[in-house]
Structure 1
Amino acid sequence: MGTSLTGSILLLLLFLSLVQSHSYTSFSKIQLPGDSLTLSVTDFGATGDGISYDSSAIQSTIDACNRHYASSSSICRVVFPSGTYLTAKLHLRSGVVLDVTENAVILGGPRIEDYYPADTSSDWYVVVANNATDVGITGGGAIDGQGSKFVVRFDEKKNIMVSWNQTGACLGDECRPRLVGFVDSTNVEIWNITLREPPYWCLHIVRCENTSVHDVSILGDFNTPNNDGIDIEDSNNTVITRCHIDTGDDAICPKTYTGPLYNLTATDCWIRTKSSAIKLGSASWFDFKGLFFDNITIFESHRGLGMQIRDGGNVSDITFSNINISTRYYDPSWWGRAEPIYITSCPRSPSAKEGAISNLLFVNITINSENGVFLSGSPNGLLSDIKFKNMNLTVRRWSNYSAGLVDYRPGCQGLVNHSTTAGIIMEHVNGFSVENVDLKWSDDLNSAWNVPLEFRPSTVNNISFVGFNSGLLHEIV
């Protein structure tokens, strides 16, 4: 409903003003118009049988809704009744909300011709909004990318995926369509919807202003690479809340390619992934500033809270609070070595710049992990003013994968042999404080565990420990 969309966006702005101590971009008050028209795709000829392509009928409905918005400035809903609507790429327009009702599915086609021709693979989506305003997706149904049809060989370690690089639209092995994208758009809301089985990235937010993502389930194949949950790229004033993300690759992933990323808030989410639950980067050509993550559960993921700063952008003013983290080893073909917290800055290549990371707060964090914390800057990209407060870190083993490697990927040093498991590894850090941190490790780590803290004084300066405790974990059997 239009009033729901309006209220959610206004709540987004109020929430941002409360949680951010500084505002880095100026807001204008958003007043979205209410609903005035509802159109059903079946009235435009969609069958919903899951066999016949309904692309033309759906697009005609969207375009009719957009014309109504242009003439009346009122939101128009495109309704999908119960059914399965097979489609090629759809273009979502300004003033249109897709209402995918319960028991309705938008099913992305698996053929190259469903997305091609296009200038580049960055134009491949099942649903995409370009340069749109007052736009959204809701309804309680699902958008399905049929990711399994893009698997060449299923593998419990990591699936081998199809690549459409023969089109010339892209290179390498990541030439597959994304599921849903909002590009260069303003006033975006995605809520009460399931996004599932993306062949590639699932929800892509690119150069957008004022975006709300809430009460969304993202379900990807746990063994499929590159099926990220939510990628937020060069976008400002974004709120993500009450989302359930269970996927193979990075779950919430802010990136900067063409401009900075400010004012991102993510709260009240549950995440499982074979890569990073939350990761800044690795695309990091511009700055990240004013990000807030709170009340998040990270379950048996390969990496918890991560930063891979590789391209010269700087990171500052980031808060992680009230987060429960469980990390474990998976096959090393996935980036990650079970680090619950992984903060790194190093050049992607010899010609790349080094970005600095500063003013990070980790407060009220509970960790159960097969590995320790990794804090690694670089000579010209120091980590500074990092604070751990009220943290419980337990290190114990439960998977059968081997340890003994430090993971700098992508670029940098790659995978490096490391004989011991350390509670906290630090390098190229200037300013690290610990307050009320309890570090425990289980008896079965005795053979490999002998370094609670590991750092070289020549690269680590200005560290402070108040209320730091370290010792064996005494488990009740």
Structure 2
Amino acid sequence: MSEKKFQTVQLTLEQSVESRTKLIQGAINRAAHTAGVVSLAGKGVYVIDGLLMKSGVTLDVQAGVTLMGSGNEDKYHHRPGPFELLRNQTPICALIFGNQCDNCVISGKGTISGNYRCFIKANQEQAAHIESHHYPRPEMIYLQDSRNVTVEGLTIIDSPFWTIHLAGCQQVKLANLTINNEVRMPNTDGIDLDRCQYVVVQGCKISTGDDGICLKCTEETKRFGDCTDIEVTDCQIHSQSAAFKVGSSSFGNFLSVKVVRLLIVNSNRGLAFQLRDGGLARNFQFSDVKISTRDFSEEWWGNAEPIYITFVARDHETVIKPDDGIENVQFSNINANSPTGALIYSDVAGRIKNIRFVQTQLWITTEVGKMRHYDLRPSEKRQSLIMPVSGLVGRVKQNQQAGLSVMYRSNEDQPD
């Protein structure tokens, strides 16, 4: 192989969107032959169409450079449908797209903008939940079936849909990323790990409308196996949905996951299991997590649950296998401040077991015994529960509550 080469691409405002995109893509194509570096330079905001990443390439976005998606989906790179469910034949596209893109790096101190305003309806300045023109919309970064992937250091803003979506990727590092999306925009997940293995997420700060970090096993990605060996450390998340979630797409299994030193701020849910398509979630460890939750508008799934463990059929077509369920989950050194307590619920008996709390404190700001909704969406059979507020709502087998302490205080007397 030829010696690794370093290319600096100077961006200017005089370039057209088409010529600028071709300039960057040409550098990526050349770098693919030498495992080279493409460094984008020139302070400013530069509109681009879709880019296709290649194996062995490092794409470096220098400080002061902002790449903004044009919003022209016809000029983005597409993957044929189906998407999420086999019955959904809609293709998906991304601003930065890669398939079988091994040993690739997307990094730098610069910014990538998804230009979400291109995809929403007008006159929604006061809306609590923004309406878009269609679903799905372009993702920011989509990498599929790739090995040794790194996304690091970037600031990613204004995503119109899932921000970073990795499907069937292995040996992944996502580090020191800042993700800031419009918090009223639905489907703007920060990081989606879809049937990925051996992933480290560290030092990321995420503020978004939808889920912050989400583990998925979508139906159409079955060929990539399960979602396993995931480690999340030293991250901070604000979300109007779930800060950290497993599901709702759960057509495969989720195994061996560690979440350590996580700060969840003013989110609609804290730590959530939302299995709706069967599947098995086993061997999860959450430690040193601080959680504060609050209620948002009813369009968002969730009712401020700090810990949410649910196994519910999505609809009448959902297939539940004998070994499906949620088991061997430990919460240790968790401190949560919330209007409500934790929910553990399954509509199939015996599917949730071996849930353990160690040094877990829940500070609840709602009067004990007050009736409250607990959201079960998406579920065709039952949308919600109405139950009195308590530290732990639900009945499970072998639930070890010895390490769970619950305290009640008014909103005026909340801890710092």
Aligned twin of 2:17: 52
The offset of 1:438, in angstroms, is 2.1
Deviations 1:253-310 (A, max 9, x none): 0001212111000010010000000000011011100000000000000000001111
Is 1:242 the counterpart of 2:203 in the alignment?
yes
Closer, same or farther in 2 for the Cα pair 1:248/1:371, shift >3 Å?
same
What one-letter code is carried by the residue in structure 1 that aligns with 2:332? V
The offset of 1:419, in angstroms, is 5.1
Aligned twin of 2:289: 323
Cα distance in 1 for residues equivalent to 2:213 and 2:2: 31
Aligned twin of 1:425: 393
The offset of 1:81, in angstroms, is 3.3
Instruction: Please give the secondary structure, in 2, of the residue aligned with 1:404.
Output: strand
The offset of 1:420, in angstroms, is 2.4
Cα distance in 1 for residues equivalent to 2:394 and 2:76: 46
Is 1:157 the counterpart of 2:118 in the alignment?
no
Which aligned runs of 4 or more in structure 1 are off by greater than 4 angstroms?
A: 48-51, 473-476
Matches within 5 A, 1:206-221: 206-221=167-182
The offset of 1:312, in angstroms, is 1.7
Deviations 1:3-39 (A, max 9, x none): xxxxxxxxxxxxxxxxxxxxxxxxxxxxxx9983111
The offset of 1:202, in angstroms, is 0.3
Is 1:379 the counterpart of 2:348 in the alignment?
yes
Aligned twin of 1:167: none
Aligned twin of 2:310: 344
Cα distance in 1 for residues equivalent to 2:262 and 2:78: 40
Identify the structure with the greater helix proportion: 1
Aligned twin of 2:49: 88
Cα distance in 2 for residues equivalent to 1:195 and 1:229: 9
Instruction: Please give the secondary structure, in 1, of the residue aligned with 2:5.
Output: strand
RMSD over aligned Cα atoms: 2.4
Picking from 230, 239, 251, the partner of 1:273 is: 239
Deviations 1:400-459 (A, max 9, x none): xx97212111115443352522221113x1111123332111258xxxxxxxxxxxxxxx
Closer, same or farther in 2 for the Cα pair 1:188/1:103, shift >3 Å?
same
Deviations 1:120-178 (A, max 9, x none): 45441000111011101111001111012222142431001121xxxxxxxxxx23100
What one-letter code is carried by the residue in structure 1 that aligns with 2:231? T
Cα distance in 2 for residues equivalent to 1:187 and 1:390: 37
Instruction: Please give the secondary structure, in 2, of the residue aligned with 1:433.
Output: coil
Matches within 5 A, 1:180-195: 180-195=141-156
Is the CA contact 1:62–1:78 (under 8 Å) kept in the aligned structure 2? no
Cα distance in 2 for residues equivalent to 1:403 and 1:431: 26
Closer, same or farther in 2 for the Cα pair 1:118/1:134, shift >3 Å?
closer
What one-letter code is carried by the residue in structure 2 that aligns with 1:47? T
Matches within 5 A, 1:70-219: 75-115=36-76, 119-120=80-81, 122-153=91-122, 154=124, 155-163=126-134, 174-219=135-180
Question: What is the percentage of aligned positions where both structures have the same residue?
Answer: 27
Cα distance in 2 for residues equivalent to 1:358 and 1:213: 27
Matches within 5 A, 1:219-258: 219-257=180-218, 258=222
Aligned twin of 1:68: 34
What one-letter code is carried by the residue in structure 1 that aligns with 2:265? F
Closer, same or farther in 2 for the Cα pair 1:35/1:140, shift >3 Å?
farther
What one-letter code is carried by the residue in structure 2 that aligns with 1:433? Q
Instruction: Please give the secondary structure, in 1, of the residue aligned with 2:374.
Output: strand
Q: Which moved more, 1:212-221 or 1:175-184?
A: 175-184
> 5+ unaligned residues in a row in structure 2: which ranges?
82-89
Picking from 435, 438, 441, the partner of 2:405 is: 438
Bigger radius of gyration: 1
Cα distance in 2 for residues equivalent to 1:202 and 1:112: 15
Is the CA contact 2:2–2:34 (under 8 Å) kept in the aligned structure 1? no
Closer, same or farther in 2 for the Cα pair 1:198/1:414, shift >3 Å?
farther
The offset of 1:88, in angstroms, is 1.1
Cα distance in 2 for residues equivalent to 1:264 and 1:219: 23
Is the CA contact 1:346–1:412 (under 8 Å) kept in the aligned structure 2? no
Equivalent residue pairs, number: 394
> 5+ unaligned residues in a row in structure 1: which ranges?
1-32, 70-74, 164-173, 445-472
